[in-house]
Amino acid sequence: MDFGLSEEQEHLQRSAREFLERECPATFVRTVMSDPEGFPRGLYRQMAELGWAGLVIPELYGGLGLTLLDLALLMEEMGRAVLPGPFFSSTLATLALLQGAGTAQKKEWLPRLAAGDAVASLAWIEANDRLDADGISVRARKVRGGYRLSGTKMFVTDAHVADVLVVACRTGKGEEGVTLLLLPGDTPGVIIRPLQSIDQTRRPMEVELRDIELPPSAVVGGEGKGWKVLARVLDAACVALAADSLGGAQKSLEMAVEYAKVREQFGRPIGSFQAVKHMAAEVVSEVEPARSLVWYAAYACDAVPREASRAAAMAKARLSDVYSRTTNRAVQIHGGIGFTWEHDMHLWFKRAKWNEFAFGDATYHRERLARLARF
């Protein structure tokens, strides 16, 4: 059994790092953060030309047809660069379409998403901030000619630039009453408002749906089939965020170590002090073992479906803690300058906080893991 990456995967990761170091330095990230739209369209177009937008989309629809492990390796490099923009949110919606959409819907949207000509977003979370089926209360009522959709979705990342939304709504009771609907972003009655976020590289939105009528062809995968799709997307989201956190933690550690080598106090580099050495060593001892968790979780989603949810929950819980602690230690090693807006360290610190709570924090996923262990 080979526990390493393939030659192609190593090339993907290496080329992604070189590209992002060149095209997405911290100065560029700051520029995008100051833009009200927060969407680096030029960079996104370049990424699409590299095939990243269609990484997991089958070749039949214009993508590369690669695996979730390949996506995790790419997300790791994006985490190193604190990449701004809608790649993560669009990828989750794309995965929902791959899991549940019919042939006509796939033909309509997947080639556009793979080419970078369209952006998608997943409208799942509501004001209750629950990730279970009972947390979905936005109702789609059957009317003559289709469905009438009303309600409000929260934390819909990058909805303001999305060409299409995949909306989770309720058409019945329990898990069998969850349905996914495709909603074009420019549909009359879709009201989008920005929400405050600690991480300005990602833009959560409130999406109000005011009596929107959609045809039966808007249903993704059939009425009442939405929850099975969302459960798989949750696993993928956990893996992607864990990978993003892994890359960010590694970069934060590198920044802290480099600073400790050049910052002098009492006539010597602070990295020579035992307390700083211990702090850095503790971070290394957490970051390196976490890598195997992320890789296995991605592999399980691809090849061992019975283990996917447990592995994804473990990876998300562990990396939420590791990334948060790593950036906290990195800020401490930087001292006073690490707390300032002028220093770049706060970019990773804020991303760590966003990743920690997005799609469930460590406590949620440990409780989820305990529930899964009973079966």
Q: What is the pLDDT along the chain (375 residues), one digit of tens a residue?
A: 466 788 999 999 999 999 999 999 999 999 999 999 999 999 999 999 999 999 999 999 999 999 999 999 999 999 999 999 999 999 999 999 999 999 999 999 999 999 999 999 999 999 999 999 999 999 999 998 899 999 999 999 999 999 999 999 999 999 999 999 999 999 999 999 999 999 999 999 999 999 999 999 999 989 999 999 999 999 999 999 999 999 999 999 999 999 888 786 888 887 778 888 888 888 889 998 999 999 999 999 999 999 999 999 999 999 999 999 999 999 999 888 888 888 999 999 999 999 999 999 999 999 999 998 865
Q: Is residue 281 part of a domain?
A: yes
Q: Which domain holds residue 39?
A: 7-117
Q: Is residue 1 part of a domain?
A: no
Q: Is residue 280 part of a domain?
A: yes
The enclosing domain of 304 has a CATH number of: 1.20.140.10
pTM reported for the whole predicted model: 0.95
323 and 247 fall within a common domain: yes
Last residue of a domain, one of 69, 95, 117: 117
Last residue of a domain, one of 172, 190, 223: 223
What's the chain's length in residues?
375
Q: How many domains does the chain divide into? A: 3
The enclosing domain of 111 has a CATH number of: 1.10.540.10
212 and 238 fall within a common domain: no
Burial of residue 371, with CB atoms counted within 10 A of its CB: 0-12 exposed, 13-18 middle, 19 or more buried: exposed
Cα 233-53-42 angle, rounded to 5 deg = 135
Assigned token pair, 214: 């959609």
105 within 8 A of 220, measured Cβ to Cβ: yes
| E strands in the chain | 120-123, 139-143, 146-153, 164-170, 178-184, 190-194, 205-214, 219-220, 264-265, 268-269
Q: What is the largest CA-CA distance in the chain?
A: 80
- Report pLDDT for 1: 43
346 and 262 fall within a common domain: yes
- Report pLDDT for 302: 93
Last residue of a domain, one of 223, 256, 285: 223
